[in-house]
Amino acid sequence: MARIKAVFRSQAIACTGKKLYGHKHRDEYLSALGAGALRRRAELLYQELEAVQQLRRQARHDMIVECRKYPESKLLCSVPFLGPVRAAVLIGRVQTPHRFRTKRQFWAYCGLALEMRDSGEYRMVNGQVERRKRPAQIRGLNWNHNHELKNLFKAAATSASASNGVFREFYLGLLKKNMQPEMARLTLARKIAAIALKIWKKGEAFDAEHLKLQAA
């Protein structure tokens, strides 16, 4: 898909969004390339895309069928915005929730933990090493993590924040506390991850009360 879009961008042809990849407007885009070799290249890339999309649909189906063999998939799918595909990725990457003693360890594995460090934590005063009273600064999220799980929970939080449900109510409550939208979505992603870990460990389905019991 990126290679197809690059062909049209190289000719300064506007191609934002996903309209470029469908069949409805394909001839319109191809006609803008003329009748030369560049158009032939785009046609071959479209054929490659169609073949890959067919394989993708089949692989998606097989993955969901395989995931349903595990009883925990039903529990994870009970969490709003954790559908069968995300549940399959979660089970495949985590294997067992008992690897993580606490939710904070799970957040670090998913790239949702806050990185706090300070290069000037200690200083010399009158020949003695003293620790600064200033607390360590927050440097963002931890970088050593599983990228697929980070994308999974961030995507779930983004969808949940824009759709009606208990998670959106939780998100709006954070905004009312003057929290920035990006930080509110991060907090929501951490909340969803904590709930998924808890119900997976305890073997119980999702309950809206988990939003009150789990601190994010």
The model carries a pTM of 0.76
Query: How many CB atoms within 10 Å of residue 93?
Result: 13
d(CA 185, CA 192) in angstroms, rounded, equals: 10
Query: How many CB atoms within 10 Å of residue 199?
Result: 21
Structure confidence at residue 35 as a pLDDT band (50, 70, 90): confident
Where is average pLDDT lowest: 20-24, 36-40, 124-128? 124-128
Q: Distances in Å between the alpha carbon of 107 and those of 40, 96, 126, 142, 199? A: 47, 15, 41, 9, 15
pLDDT, average across residues 11-35: 90
Could you tell me which of 38, 53, 55 has the C-alpha nearest to residue 4?
38
> Which residues are paired to 114 by β-bridges?
141
Between 211 and 96, name the one with better pLDDT: 96
Specify if 139 maps to a domain: no
Q: What are phi and psi of 207, to 5 degrees?
A: -135, 140
d(CA 40, CA 6) in angstroms, rounded, equals: 14
Specify if 122 maps to a domain: no
Specify if 50 maps to a domain: yes
Do 19 and 110 lie in a common domain? no
Do 56 and 82 lie in a common domain? no
Domain hosting 85: range is 76-115+145-213
Specify if 138 maps to a domain: no
Amino acid letter, residue 128? Q
Specify if 127 maps to a domain: no
Helix (H, G, I), strand (E, B), or coil: what is residue 70?
coil
d(CA 205, CA 131) in angstroms, rounded, equals: 47
Q: Distances in Å between the alpha carbon of 71 and those of 4, 30, 80, 104? A: 41, 48, 17, 25
Specify if 132 maps to a domain: no
Between 207 and 191, name the one with better pLDDT: 191
- Name residue, tokens 């003329």: 34
Do 100 and 17 lie in a common domain? no
Do 111 and 164 lie in a common domain? yes
Do 101 and 15 lie in a common domain? no
Asked if residue 100 has pLDDT above 80, the reply is yes
Helix (H, G, I), strand (E, B), or coil: what is residue 137?
strand
Asked if residue 91 has pLDDT above 50, the reply is yes
pLDDT at 114: 83
d(CA 186, CA 154) in angstroms, rounded, equals: 7
Structure confidence at residue 215 as a pLDDT band (50, 70, 90): very low
Do 17 and 57 lie in a common domain? yes
Number of domains the chain is built from: 2
Specify if 90 maps to a domain: yes
d(CA 62, CA 160) in angstroms, rounded, equals: 26
| Two tokens, residue 211 | 């939003």
